[in-house]
Amino acid sequence: MTRAARRAHEAAPPRPSPVRDRILAAADEHFYAEGIRAVSADRLIAAAGVSKVTFYRHFPSKDDLVLAYLDGRSALERHALEQLRSQAGDACGTLLAIAGVIGDMSCSPGFRGCPFINAAAEYADPAHPARKAVAAHRAWFATFLQELLREMAIPDGAAVADQLVILRDGAMVRGYLDADPTVRTDAITRAGRAVLDGARAAGRGSS
């Protein structure tokens, strides 16, 4: 991705376009199922049913498409978490709902783990735009958890949020590697409660 393209990507969202959406849908399906580097632009052009000229008009480089894919995944996850928050009614209920969704999702057909962890594994350079997009999403998620923990009056929210992120990451990887769905949601919930109980106990001990 050129510097100018990166600035354009950061400056304004692209205009809605059915063709662009079709290319993105093909990228989302194949990048997640097979890996980003394993899928060529030619395969996506064929899957989306567009010409090379049309493809590169919307995405001048593969990096541009990768960033759009990660942006789309981030937007979906943010929307889903905000919906859980509004439906759950309180912070504790939101955390329980998140645990349930992770458990259910990791048992679903075609689950291949966290798309952000998967993407980060394919780009060794932390300065690569894809890694920066992953880092930005993970920072948002940690902040989202910190807000919930603050509502619950959990002390040292940043450290506890880090522990919950580690728990979430482990659950996503385990969900991909282990096909046995039994008690997965229960295990995530119990581990999360242990983290919160430990934080509360530490807070009482230091007061």
Q: Give yes or no for a contact between 59 and 65, defined as CB atoms under 8 angstroms apart.
A: yes
CA distance 105 to 52: 35
- Domain 70-205 CATH superfamily: Tetracycline Repressor, domain 2 (1.10.357.10)
Chain centre distance of CA 165: 11
> What are the residue boundaries of the structural domains of the chain, listed by start?
16-60, 70-205
Question: Residue for token digits 């409660």?
Answer: 193
Q: Residues 130, 124, 164, 138: what is their CA dihedral angle, to the nearest 10 degrees?
A: -20
**39-59 pLDDT, tens digit each:** 999 999 999 999 999 999 999
Q: Is pLDDT of 7 > 60?
A: no
Per-residue pLDDT at 201: 86
**75-95 pLDDT, tens digit each:** 999 999 999 999 998 999 999
**15-26 pLDDT, tens digit each:** 678 999 999 999
| pTM of the full structure | 0.86
Alpha helices in the chain (DSSP H): 3-11, 18-34, 41-48, 52-58, 62-88, 91-105, 115-122, 129-151, 157-177, 184-206
Q: Is pLDDT of 118 > 90?
A: yes
CATH number of 16-60: 1.10.10.60
Q: Give yes or no for a contact between 23 and 58, defined as CB atoms under 8 angstroms apart.
A: yes
